[in-house]
Structure 1
Amino acid sequence: MKQTVLTRMKSRIVLASLLFGLFFGAGNLIFPVNIGQLSGSNIAQSSFGFILTAVGLASLGVIVCGRSKADSLEDMLQPYGRRYARMFTILLLLTIGPMFALPRTATVPYEVAIKALMPQANHQLGMFVYSFLFFGGALLIAIKPSKIEVWVAKIINPLFLIFLAVFFIMFMINPLGSASNTLPSGTYETSAFLTGFQMGYQTMDVLAALSFGFVIVQSTKVNHPESQSSLVKDVVYASLISGGTMIFIYTMLLLIGSSSLNVLPVASNGGIALGQLFHYYFGSAGLIFFGITITFACITTAVGLITSCARYFSSIIPKVSYELMAVVIASAGFLVSNVGLEAIIQLSIPVLNFIYPLAIMHVIVGLAFAKLLDKKRVINIMLGIMIVVAIFETMMQLPLLANQQLLSPIFTAYQTYVPLASIGLGWLNFMIAGLCIGYWLQNISNRNTRPNIT
């Protein structure tokens, strides 16, 4: 029995390492440092708000995938309609894959660390070579799904954590001073918790959770074929361990960012700030050390994105094998990272704004209202209302429409009078209203169709 318990615990730790490696990319590394610098002495409030949404939403998304008994996101969304399930899945995977997130896994580490090591005349060539090696390495791992757990969970992620631990140890040995001595900036001065909450919400990690969650599910099924209840337990434990690790790392990075103001000015972004801090502790070798650390963080995320996209698109296009689709996805990420990334990002932002409220809706319903998925009328009404609201909120983010004289007052009124709209959660009111209206109409329909017994 003891051996069985130890074996299960070991497998859960490996799953947690895999999940952490898939999630934790460049943004997760540099974003908290920026928040810490802007929070100053209000670091406790902003940290709590940020962690609540950044870790909480992502962990819940993975748990919903594990509980769903589905093999893919499209499969999980079937109660919402076959066409909607496919359209939403394609939009999500294209956006977090080759259209947006995948190219950035290479461009961000290059821009914030590697670029400074290159002569200015060779910046473009340097990006080409770095991204080619980066996506080549990610593809070599992703092309054999059975080996992903080994490479991500047992090799690259532990190396990343070791590099990060060295940085944290240097900070503890030679602290930067008290965070209470530094002043907060902007909205962090008056509403640090809400600003941190909003920043965590805007990481949009829940989108990756709906994709990576099924990578974890498949890994559990392949390597540990057991009952559904055992699978759910493994996924929940992996989410908790991974989430706990993220909370510790976020807390350290937030604290480092806040206390760094004692020795450094506020940087324009977290990447620059983190590069300066690595240089502060490790001297001229600091930038190389930082470049290796952030590359390790990003390549595991790239592997997860290539795997998720290739697995899904090869399933809906049977004539294309998983291996060939992985090559296509990795090649697309490589090309976009070198040509026209900014334009692609601008096109992707409206799509992100559209699907993000819908993604969180699926997490909330899957977690708290799963029994309603069998009630077609409730789901259809809630989904219809949410699609309209998501389109409306997307329109608010488009400068061409936001500045229109006719629409601008409507958008302003929405932000002012709809609860939570100012922090990007106005849609939550309409989701709850849709559930209530749908449930009410469902009950009326049930009473009308009930046979009379006389």
Structure 2
Amino acid sequence: MDYAVDPMRHRAHRVDSIQRIIDWWIMAKQTLSARQSVVVGVTLFSMFFGAGNLILPPLLGLQAGTDTMPAALGFLVAAIGLPVLGIIAVALAGTARDLAGRVHPMFARVFVAAVYLAIGPCLAIPRTSSTAFEMLEPLLPASLAVDIPRLIFSVAFFALAYVLAMHPGRLTRLLGRVTGPALILLIVAVTVASFLTPLPELSAAQAPYDNGAAVQGFLVGYQTMDLLASLTFGLVIATNIREMGVTEPGPLTRAISRAGVFAGVLMALIYCGLAYVGVSASEVAAGATNGAAVLTASATQHFGIAGTVVVAAIFLLACLNVCTGLISCCGTYFSNEIPGVSYRACAFVFAAFSCFLSNFGLDAILAFSVPLLGAMYPVAIVLVLMGMFHAACDERPIIWPLVVGVTAAISVIEALRDAFAPAATLPIDALPFADLGLSWVVPAALAALVAFFCGLIGIGKVSAR
């Protein structure tokens, strides 16, 4: 039967064709302009780039010496590659809850809440204020006790961050157009000054880079915490992109992915520049034990006391950017999770609690962070890696709880040992790569193989329909 004989079929075909054209036109319109894409990318960069991102590469360059290149490559894989994959994996899944929900709905609630608390009021948010204050402390009179100035600074810092976070939909306008570019310009000023200075003779790699520089650089990249952050930042970025007119799932995913890649490239350029600052400061910053001291020594060498002020301004902007983004992310998530609690109330509680914790000092906060990250980071890594191949993994759903369960068990046991009995010996210490803090890798791979073979024999595999 042809269309001439069946006019109703012909009409339906025309309607279907017209609908396809309309759908294509809508999809074509659901695209950010080049300028909008850049603004969103800079916004994401500003939310990621905090104090930890600033202080790790210069110390790497100082300590790695002649092995700076392999160490930097390892660092870039962990500090940029994994977070960009995290942004994309969450975009493909929909939300961090959807990604973790493939393991179990209850696991998703607990794990995602733990991620938000870790990168929020329990660790990362208080660290922003403490780090910023430590960079300002050298500018205070030496005879002045720091307790009262730290309290005043933290109250003012979190009050400003709270006010800025009250408009999460306008975060792109602030971070992407004002504070983000200002931060980049300040970093460029310090980096360019190092490039204009003759490079001193490179020294041999110091510990820990004197044994497997690339692996050590990879492990140091964990300390940025950006993989955990990537699981949460997608929510705020998606809100901003929707307000720009991109609401369809496909175009929204592509816009988020492009923003992640753009932010990753920008961070890679800055990381390499900051690592070079550390290499070039091998004489003026000899013996430095943290990247803040390296940056301060380099900036002071080139700009005098003004250099100290510039470095303090860089840290203040970086910390304020990240603090604002984290308060916004955490407030948005928990206001949606807790019935009857507004975003404003959540943001205020997180800001006030973080202000309280920040006054315990940076050392106390960092001491608490090591076991917490040790327990959570491996789980986040396997979730993101499986999320990138979710189609294949979803064919064998058993792989999700099996791999994540094995990884979580080993990581939590090791983290509890490190927190409460660091001298104790455990059976997992005999696992491959345990001396590198990667004892979970081989068991996770074996769990994936077990899930694969279970699927071959029909166990835990989705049946074809």
TM-score (norm 2): 0.87
SS in 2 for 1:397: helix
Identical amino acids, percent of aligned pairs: 28
Larger displacement relative to structure 2 (77-86 or 260-269): 260-269
Give 2:441's match in structure 1, choosing from 398, 406, 428. Answer: 428
- Mapping for residues 261-340 of structure 1, pairs under 5 Å: 261-339=282-360
Aligned to 2:56: 31
Match of 1:403 among 417, 420, 423: 423
Superposed CA offset, 1:7-52 (max 9, x none)? 6211111111011000000111111111111011221121111112
* Aligned residue identity for 2:263: S
Measure how far apart 1:262 and its partner are: 3.4
Change (3 A) 1:426 1:257: same
CA 1:50–1:331 in structure 2 vs 1: closer, same or farther (change >3 Å)?
same
CA contact (8 A) 2:398 2:460 kept: no
Residues 437, 138 of structure 1: alpha-carbon distance in 2 compared, 3 angstrom cutoff? same
Residues 59/259 of structure 1: CA separation in 2 closer, same or farther (3 Å cut):
same
- SS of 1:265's equivalent? coil
In 2: Cα distance, 1:403 partner to 1:371 partner = 41
- Mapped contact 2:194–2:298 kept (Cα < 8 A): no
Please give the residue correspondences for 1:183-198 in structure 2 after superposition, counting only pairs within 5 Å.
183-198=204-219
Q: Find the counterpart in structure 1 of residue 243 from structure 2.
A: 222
Distance in 2 (alpha carbons) for counterparts of 1:161 and 1:210: 24
What residue in structure 1 maps to residue 17 of structure 2?
Answer: none
Secondary structure of the corresponding residue to residue 438 of structure 2 = coil
2:277 and 2:55 map into 1 onto residues whose CA distance is 11
Matched residue SS, 1:325 = helix
- In structure 1, runs of 5+ residues without a counterpart are none
Q: 1:263, 1:243 → 2: CA distance?
A: 30
Deviations 1:386-434 (A, max 9, x none): 222222332442351x423xxx1635423xxx1x333333312222222
1:27-426 matches, cutoff 5 A: 27-70=52-95, 73-111=96-134, 113-119=135-141, 120-173=143-196, 175-178=197-200, 180-339=201-360, 342-343=363-364, 345-373=366-394, 375-400=396-421, 402-404=422-424, 408=425, 410-414=427-431, 418=432, 420-426=433-439
Q: Which moved more, 1:370-379 or 1:294-303?
A: 370-379
How well do the aligned residues superpose, as a CA RMSD in angstroms? Answer: 2.6
2:15 aligned residue: none
Which is further off, 6-15 or 97-106?
6-15
Mapped contact 2:89–2:384 kept (Cα < 8 A):
yes
When the two structures are aligned, how many residues end up with a matched partner? 437
Q: Does 283-292 or 344-353 show the bigger shift?
A: 344-353
Q: Distance in 2 between matches of 1:437 and 1:4?
A: 45
Give the structure 1 partner of residue 38 of structure 2.
13
Structure 1 residue identity aligned to 2:156: L
CA–CA distance in structure 1, aligned partners of residues 59 and 35 of structure 2: 35
Query: Using the alignment, how far apart are the partners of 2:31 and 2:301 within structure 1?
Result: 42
CA distance in 1, matches of 2:131, 2:121: 15
Q: Quote the Cα distance in structure 1 between the aligned partners of 2:147 and 2:50.
A: 23
Aligned 8 A contact 1:378 1:435 in 2: yes
Cα shift at 1:92:
1.1
State the shift of 1:233 in Å: 1.7
Contact kept, 8 Å, 1:22 with 1:301, in 2: the verdict is yes
CA contact (8 A) 1:138 1:303 kept: yes
Q: Which residue of 1 aligns with 2:3?
A: none
Work out the CA distance in 1 between the residues paired with 2:114 and 2:168: 23
**SS of corresponding position for 2:457:** helix
Instruction: Return closer, same or farther for 1:260/1:5 CA change in 2, 3 Å cut-off.
Output: farther
**Cα separation, 2, equivalents of 1:254 and 1:344:** 25
**341-350 vs 219-228, which moves further:** 341-350
Is the contact between residue 393 and residue 400 of structure 2 (CA under 8 Å) also seen in structure 1?
A: yes
The answer on whether the counterparts of 1:187 and 1:195 sit within 8 Å (CA) in structure 2 is yes
434-443 or 101-110, which deviates more: 434-443
Contact 1:97 1:306 in 2 (8 A): yes
Decide whether the 8 Å contact of 1:266 with 1:273 is kept in 2: no
Deviation, structure 1 residue 330: 0.9
Task: Name the CA shift for 1:224/1:413 in 2 (closer, same or farther; >3 Å).
Answer: same
* Contact persistence 2:75–2:218 (CA under 8 A): yes
| 1:446–1:208 Cα change, 3 Å | closer
Quote the offset at 1:327 in angstroms: 0.9
Kindly indicate whether the alpha-carbon contact (under 8 Å) linking 1:176 and 1:263 is maintained by their aligned counterparts in 2. Answer: no
Q: Deviations over 1:26-85 (max 9, x none)?
A: 111111111111011221121111112111111111111111123xx2233222111111
Distance in 1 of aligned mates of 2:306 and 2:454: 66
Q: CA 1:344–1:183 in structure 2 vs 1: closer, same or farther (change >3 Å)?
A: closer
Shift of the alpha carbon at 1:447?
Answer: 10
Please give the alpha-carbon distance, in whole angstroms, between the structure 1 residues aligned to 2:461 and 2:334. Answer: 44
What letter corresponds to residue 172 of structure 2 in structure 1?
A: E
Change (3 A) 1:310 1:397: same
Q: Is the 8 A contact 1:61 1:213 kept in 2?
A: no
- Note the C-alpha offset of 1:224: 2.7
Larger radius of gyration: 2
Q: What TM-score does the superposition give when structure 1 sets the normalisation length? A: 0.89
CA contact (8 A) 1:59 1:243 kept: yes
Q: Deviations over 1:82-104 (max 9, x none)?
A: 11111101111111111111000
SS at match of 1:186: coil
Letter in 2 for 1:21: S
